Amino acid sequence: MVTLKTVNMEGVVLDALEANPAVFDTVTSETLIHDVVLGFLAAMRHGTHDTKERAEVSGGGKKPFRQKGTGRARRGSSREPVLRGGGTVFGPTPRSYRQNVTVQMKRKALCALLSDRNRSERLCVMEGLAVEQPRTKAVSGMLDKVVPERRRTLLVMAGHDKNVLLSFRNLPDVEVRTAADVNALDVIRASHVILQKEAVQKLEERLS
């Protein structure tokens, strides 16, 4: 079994928590993580960019001037790509950027990142994490004790907690996710990961 650092809301270190090595002690594959993260970023692109080609711009139905005798270059349409107001050549059109990333790849990448954060001592489990009423000041002080550097932090909860979401949403360097929807992109963006103690079991059930 692998052990996870455990603290309380005051930042006091408690007895280490034993966890499943299949989730928190796996081999880190940079290639796999790169492919999965790239897939998440690609899926976030809308792909709605569009330009009008020559056949789509208005006008240009009549030859602008005769073929010979004007001293100018011959033109068949006033909407040719080389003219102002003409169509775009090989411009972007609506498309999907989604890549083929399997569920198994996403799970392995998430386990690899959680394992990496644990080895580098940037992951901890918080026991007794509860917020009775929404107060940003209170949770901000708690983070100062648990993560003194206060770099980008990911907080993983066992389930949806309205008071926790309302308390942390005004902190620009904190992201709150549940164990059911956290992914590799969330973890790789965060410098530190804090897991609610009840969320560890849910992550193990989901990923192992």
Nearest-CA neighbor of 110 among 158, 45, 40, 197?
A: 40
96 contacts 90 by C-beta, under 8 angstroms: no
Evaluate the CA torsion angle 25, 26, 32, 36 in order and state its sign. Answer: negative
- CA 208/CA 198 separation, integer angstroms: 16
Per-residue confidence band for 95, with pLDDT thresholds at 50, 70 and 90: very high
* Residue 6: strand, helix, or coil: strand
pLDDT digits 0-9 by tens, 121-154 = 999 999 988 888 888 998 998 898 898 887 899 9
pLDDT digits 0-9 by tens, 15-70 = 999 999 999 999 888 999 999 999 999 999 999 999 999 989 998 888 999 999 99
So what's the pLDDT on residue 66?
Answer: 94
Please give the average per-residue pLDDT across 85-114, as a whole number.
94
So what's the pLDDT on residue 129?
Answer: 85
So what's the pLDDT on residue 1?
Answer: 80
The helix or strand, by DSSP H or E, that contains position 196, with its residue range, turns out to be strand 192-196
So what's the pLDDT on residue 130?
Answer: 84
**Whether the predicted pLDDT of 206 surpasses 80:** yes
pLDDT digits 0-9 by tens, 153-189 = 999 999 998 999 999 998 989 999 999 999 999 999 9
